[in-house]
Amino acid sequence: MSVIVLSGTIGAGKSSLTEMLANKLGTKALYESVEDNDVLPLFYSDPEKYAFLLQIYFLNKRFASIKEALADDNNILDRSIYEDSLLFHLNADLGRANQKEVEVYDDLLSNMLERISKSDIKTAPDLLIHIKVSFDKMLERINKRGREFEQLDTDPSLFNYYQELNKRYDKWYEDFDICPKIQIDGDKYDFVENPEDAKKVLELIEQKLNTIR
């Protein structure tokens, strides 16, 4: 049984690498709710009003995905539940959640994480793959993917939000100690367009998996 989770900022390449890895390893991929997520556009149009609702929505969906992942033998999830707090606290620090909402959320998350903590080895992931991208690359990829509500042209204030999010991810990854981890340089490896880079990235991940099996 092996559960792999991806992490990284918006547009880092998590879904792309999840698909590649699932094909390579012959395992099932579970994707974050985006296309079917009717709260996400609301959040981008009015973050002050919808930050808390979006966070609860994602937490619920992620917990459902984790349950689904644990029901099968091998799975890859395109974003870890461990990043939720980073995203929510950034929004809270920007004044998009009040103190009570922060307390309720933190309590709910820690309750849920108790079920999937490292003391329960059956339910912690086997590997976290973090894709690190520079801020410039992050903006380039968000632009390349072209979801309208995420574009700086649609909302120039997203520039500061993205910049702060990208910065906070570095410390988040450094502190992460729930399971074995590996960082992939998403600036260096164009694993979407370049087959040589894709091969190299898959090799790095397989080497890491061999050290933990």
Ligand X SMILES: Nc1nc(=O)c2ncn([C@H]3C[C@H](O)[C@@H](CO)O3)c2[nH]1
Ligand Y SMILES: Nc1ncnc2c1ncn2[C@@H]1O[C@H](COP(=O)(O)OP(=O)(O)OP(=O)(O)O)[C@@H](O)[C@H]1O
The contact set with ligand X (CB under 6 A) reads: 10, 32, 34, 40, 54-55, 58, 84, 87, 91, 150
Closest CA to 25 of 179, 190, 210: 210
* Candidate residues 38, 153, 177, 193; the one interacting with ligand Y per rule CB under 6 A: 193
Phi, psi dihedrals of residue 184, rounded to the nearest 5°:
-110, 135
Cβ neighbors of 147 (< 8 A, separation 6 or more) are 34
Contact segment (CB under 6 A) with ligand Y among 89-97, 161-169, 185-193, 205-213 equals: 185-193
Smallest separation (angstroms) from ligand X to the CB of 151: 11
Smallest separation (angstroms) from ligand Y to the CB of 168: 15
Q: Which of residues 111-170 bind ligand Y (CB under 6 A)?
A: 141, 144-145
* Candidate residues 3, 5, 7, 14; the one interacting with ligand Y per rule CB under 6 A: 14
Smallest separation (angstroms) from ligand Y to the CB of 11: 4
Residues assigned a catalytic role? 78
Cα 213 from Cα 209, distance rounded (Å): 6
Could you tell me if 87 and 97 are in contact, meaning their C-beta atoms sit under 8 angstroms apart?
A: no
What does 8 interact with, of ligand X, ligand Y, none (CB < 5 to 8 A by kind)?
ligand Y
H helix or E strand, kind and range, residue 163: helix 158-175
H helix or E strand, kind and range, residue 211: helix 195-212
